[in-house]
Amino acid sequence: MIQSEYLVHTFPNGIRLIHQESASPVGHLGVILNTGSRDEKPDEHGIAHFIEHCIFKGTKKRKAFHILSRMEDVGGELNAYTTKEETALYATFLSEYYSRAAELLYDILFHSVFPEKELKLEKEVVVEEINSYNDSPSELIFDDFDEMVFDGHPIARNIMGTYDTVRSFGREQIFRFIDQNYHTDQMVISSVGNISFKKLIGLLDRYFGHIPGKMRVHNREKFDHFVPAVKHVTKETYQTHCMVGTMAYDSADPKRVVMILLNNLLGGQGMNSRLNLSLRERKGMAYNIESSYNSYSDTGLFSVYFGTDNDNFEKALQVVYKEFQLLREKKLGTMQLTRAQKQLIGQLAIAGENREDLMLTIGKSFLFYNRVDPMKMVFEKIEAITASQIIEVANEILNPSRMSLLTYR
């Protein structure tokens, strides 16, 4: 089946496939699962991420060294990541090794054995990863902010877990989590590479097609009890680190695209973002300032982070709120809007040139929406955004009375 420039197929067990053919000699293949840290029970905190670490540590027919060497011996790479809502396993390789990559991903996903000796070693690796975050306040504050605003909800917890939970995990608990959360109708195989779709379907059917179908019947717990809060944490830091933010649109909300443009204009990756210009370039109050917008299946979070000298904190915070106020009260002019649209479109187009990122992006879109909008359609949606829509979204989201505030001082 053709879906715009992407080719899609569903195997009888519910596993979906999306592919974009490419003339590049390099192929990218991944399996993305609709399972993340928010699917954990309290005593499982960090287990989704821990499984991602340990899934490379041995299968019924391979030891850890053989798993890592399988792709690296032919110049390829094997990788994985975990977020609040998904887990991904993926490989990059010369396209002639598609079969090798497909078989390896199948083997580690469905036949990992999680040896006790390897689990013990990897627990200490994850503990050191937690330590590295604790040593970096500019990263740790993002997790602490999530815990504050999503107060008590599974999505609040950081992805890595705690020292105690990570050290408590055993094989039985790992297999139970996999059994309860890895469902075939919640898996997407994503591919970008120089291989015909017919050949790819046949190849993947050989490995994934015979897996028994297993459909998800439970729904995630929805977050619906946000209450703005203010919290100041005393830490021995040279700067005041600050997070300010609030709830935003979920991934299915039509206003999501407007929010993406607004966020990029306010504090996106460009050095000409409003917050960077006002706080860094004009005032010299911050080295790093950024805004972010994360959309989830049933909620979303907008936030601004900055670090500044302790004496400048109050002034810097007022600069941030002033930028919020300007976007809420003053419509963008035609040239301002056009420039913002062109900037976002250019950033997306450039990002699409990274074919590994493209493989993961289309896989996630197909997983959560069962479709992938072609780039032309995405650009048209951005170009259709009006100044009135931006000011409407700004008034809904950038209201200081709805903001939570967290500082390390």
Query: Rounded to whole angstroms, what are the CA distances from 145 to 3, 37, 244, 289, 388?
Result: 39, 16, 8, 16, 30
Neighbour tally for 228: CB within 10 Å: 16
Q: Tell me the two tokens of residue 396.
A: 């809904």
Amino acid at 120: K
The residues spanned by each domain of the chain are 2-208, 230-408
CATH architecture of 2-208: 2-Layer Sandwich (3.30)
Query: Rounded to whole angstroms, what are the CA distances from 314 to 231, 279, 291, 339?
Result: 15, 12, 18, 31
Radius of gyration of the chain (CA): 22
Spatial separation of the C-alpha atoms in residues 79 and 88, rounded to whole Å: 8
Protein fold of 230-408? Cytochrome Bc1 Complex; Chain A, domain 1 (3.30.830)
Spatial separation of the C-alpha atoms in residues 276 and 293, rounded to whole Å: 16
Could you list the pLDDT tens digit for every one of the 409 residues in the chain? 544 579 999 999 999 999 999 999 999 999 999 999 999 999 999 999 999 999 999 999 999 999 999 999 999 999 999 999 999 999 999 999 999 999 999 999 999 999 999 999 999 999 999 999 989 999 999 999 999 999 999 999 999 999 999 999 999 999 999 999 999 999 999 999 999 999 999 999 999 999 999 999 988 989 989 999 999 999 988 899 999 999 999 999 999 999 999 999 999 988 999 999 999 999 999 999 999 999 999 999 999 999 999 999 999 999 999 999 999 999 999 999 999 999 999 999 999 899 999 999 999 999 999 999 999 999 999 999 999 999 999 999 999 999 999 999 9
Please report the pLDDT score of residue 2 as a whole number: 45
Query: Rounded to whole angstroms, what are the CA distances from 1 to 70, 189, 300, 303, 355?
Result: 32, 15, 32, 39, 22
Is there a shared CATH topology between the 2-208 domain and the 230-408 domain?
Answer: yes
Identify the DSSP state of 37: G
